[in-house]
Amino acid sequence: MKRRDFIYTIILTSMAITLPLILSSFQKEFSKEDLMGTNTPKLSGKGYQLRTEAHTAFLKMKAAAALEGIQIKVVSSYRNYAHQNRIWERKYKKFTAAGHSPIETIQKIIEYSTIPGTSRHHWGTDLDIIDGAVPQPRGLLLAKNFEDDGPFCKLKEWMNTHANTYGFYLVYTDKSNRKGFKYEPWHYSYAPLSIPMLKAYRKLDLKTDLEKVKLKGSNHFTTSFIQQYITENIIDINPSLL
């Protein structure tokens, strides 16, 4: 065999071995259980839980913020289906006990909270953060705490400038024409993972899947309601995360 042909054969053999590995790193597959929070993924973190890749990026971002006196503290991260369902049931009981109809109750809940099985927190890519280096207000996750002279305004200003560098993007922005969930200046998502997860999620038959689990009030989840919920609450987010 000529030297040139030998080298060519070695290169092809090497590509045959390594190419599948390279492609597999870009072709992440997510099951319905992964996307709906009924299957616990491999998670990392102390006092919070993120997928390993998101956790690595978060630690780098946290270390950079610390150099400027900002202590990024996670108050919510991965939540499985059961956890989200407890939130849903607690709020459903609260609002119906206050005299709201089931439909009114659902609309009030989805101002800030997701229907179980539809939360981005199921993915291990999203987190809610505050600044742990400042005095803590009574209500942590309120927009006023992150704006103007609020206790977390320094954190928000730093995140506005640096978060994207580490792959994190605000999910529910304050754009006036955005619908769905209200503005959440504390909620960030790790885009390199959450973007492909959202694409996979949008392929699910959400109405059928939600009918199977029989949530409180789910008998009021009409086809038009689910479609509106998908359009406004799941998709109407920061365009950088689509």
b/e 170-204 (16+ beta carbons within 10 angstroms → b): bbbbeeeebebbebbbbbbbbbebbbbbbebbeeb
- When pLDDT is averaged across residues 189-208 and rounded to a whole number, the result is 96
The model's pTM is: 0.86
Strand ranges (DSSP E) for 50-120?
50-51, 72-76
Whether the pLDDT of residue 226 is over 60: the answer is yes
Structural tokens at position 71: 């202590």
Q: What pLDDT, on a 0 to 100 scale, did the predictor assign at position 36?
A: 96
- When pLDDT is averaged across residues 212-237 and rounded to a whole number, the result is 93
CATH class for the domain made up of 27-241: alpha beta
* Domain limits, the chain: 27-241
- When pLDDT is averaged across residues 208-218 and rounded to a whole number, the result is 86
Whether the pLDDT of residue 173 is over 90: the answer is yes
Whether the pLDDT of residue 15 is over 80: the answer is no
User: H or E stretch including 115?
Assistant: none
Alpha-carbon span 75 to 111, nearest angstrom: 19
190 within 8 A of 49, measured Cβ to Cβ: no
Q: What sign for the dihedral angle of Cα 161, 167, 170, 176?
A: positive
Whether the pLDDT of residue 27 is over 60: the answer is no
What is the Cβ-side half-sphere exposure of residue 153, based on CA atoms within 13 angstroms? 6
Whether the pLDDT of residue 56 is over 50: the answer is yes
- When pLDDT is averaged across residues 12-27 and rounded to a whole number, the result is 40
Q: What pLDDT, on a 0 to 100 scale, did the predictor assign at position 19?
A: 39
- When pLDDT is averaged across residues 167-191 and rounded to a whole number, the result is 96
- Of 15-29, 184-198, 203-217, the poorest mean pLDDT is in 15-29
- When pLDDT is averaged across residues 135-164 and rounded to a whole number, the result is 97
- When pLDDT is averaged across residues 222-229 and rounded to a whole number, the result is 94
